[in-house]
Amino acid sequence: MGGLHIVHGWRNIEPEARGASVALGNFDGVHRGHRQVIAAAAKAAAVLRAPLAVISFEPHPRRWFNPAAEPFRLMNTDQLGRVLESLGVDRLHVLPFDAEMAALSDEAFARDVLWVGLGVRHVSAGFDVTFGAGRTGSPQRLQAFGDSFGFGVTIARPIRGDDGGKCSSSAIRDALREGRPDQAARLLGRPFAVEGVVVHGNQLGRTIGFPTANIMLEDYVRPAAGIYATRTRLADGREVPGVGYFGRRPTVNGVDEKLEVNLFDFDEDLYGQTLEVDLLALIRGDEKFDSLEAMVVQMKKDCAAARAMLMPEI
């Protein structure tokens, strides 16, 4: 990830990996609220002449506490790294969220992990931060621990969405599930994107004139099923407009969920390559058609709508 240095764990880390001004949180999505927390850490880093770092947890605490929870992630680790690097972050501290971490009191987390383990010089966190067993840690307690152990603390103010609601990962997930990728993009500060390896499908799309690149969503949040206008970044950096479908393909009695993307004016072998697909707008919801012929007629209309949206000059 270029200039971003990733440090795993918090015990016995190298001396040069200590002493940063850190942003504390889960940072799933790195939305506008997260960016304000990182900006506060960056301001302190400049004053202290310290590295700028982000602390995150793997697995996500929600996944650890509830392994059976439905998929909810807004980005994978590679996407997180790229976004943090673009924000000027020097270091990503990936802390294991396991039984030991879950059992630490808020004071033990501040003392053993932040102060002793990472040697932080400053901690920036969101206005609603919680930490420690039972989520007893709060902005006020973080400030008190900073005063006690000798590191600075900044608590970022909340950012509100267009509707006045809190800018949060939960609000972004809700927007995606409800078929509002435009609202999700406003909260994120960029479009929601799925990254994954192109896998083989049943080849149906190619036989009906709409070849697709198929990507499994893994632990990504499931957006509303339907047809989307998309922008796909290839492994070589090219960006290609297109139309994507997410759902179970009821017309052909599909079972598994995947993202299928038809790239406009494109005919290259993408199997095994990693693509990143922006979901830009929901064109229509999922439908079950009486025949493949009826589905193809609608797909042509969907492509025309996506082209008009993404390539208006053509």
Predicted confidence band at 192 (pLDDT cuts at 50, 70, 90)? Answer: very high
- Which pLDDT value is given to residue 228? 97
Predicted confidence band at 308 (pLDDT cuts at 50, 70, 90)? Answer: very high
Predicted confidence band at 209 (pLDDT cuts at 50, 70, 90)? Answer: low
pTM: 0.91
Q: Pick 294 or 115 by higher pLDDT.
A: 115
Does the domain at 191-310 match CATH 2.40.30.30? Answer given as yes
pLDDT one-digit tens code per residue, 102-129: 999 999 999 999 999 999 999 999 999 9
pLDDT one-digit tens code per residue, 134-172: 999 999 999 999 999 999 999 998 887 666 677 899 999
DSSP state of 109: I
**CATH domain 5-155 topology:** Rossmann fold (3.40.50)
pLDDT one-digit tens code per residue, 54-87: 999 999 999 999 999 899 999 998 999 999 999 9
Instruction: Tell me the CA distances in angstroms from 276 to 214, 268, 301, one per residue in order.
Output: 12, 16, 24
Asked whether this chain's domains 5-155 and 191-310 adopt the same fold, the reply is: no
**Domain locations in the chain as residue ranges:** 5-155, 191-310
Lowest mean pLDDT: which of 140-144, 237-241, 253-257, 282-286?
253-257
For residue 133, pLDDT beyond 80: yes
For residue 207, pLDDT beyond 80: no
Lowest mean pLDDT: which of 142-156, 166-180, 191-205?
191-205
- Which pLDDT value is given to residue 312? 73
For 33-89, give the DSSP string.
HHHHHHHHHHHHHHHHT--EEEEEEES-HHHHH-TTPPP-BS--HHHHHHHHHHTT-
94 CB neighbour count, 10 Å cutoff? 18
Please name the amino acid found at residue 121: R
Region 36-41: mean pLDDT is: 97
Region 290-307: mean pLDDT is: 91
- Which pLDDT value is given to residue 140? 97
At residue 195, the 3 state secondary structure works out as strand
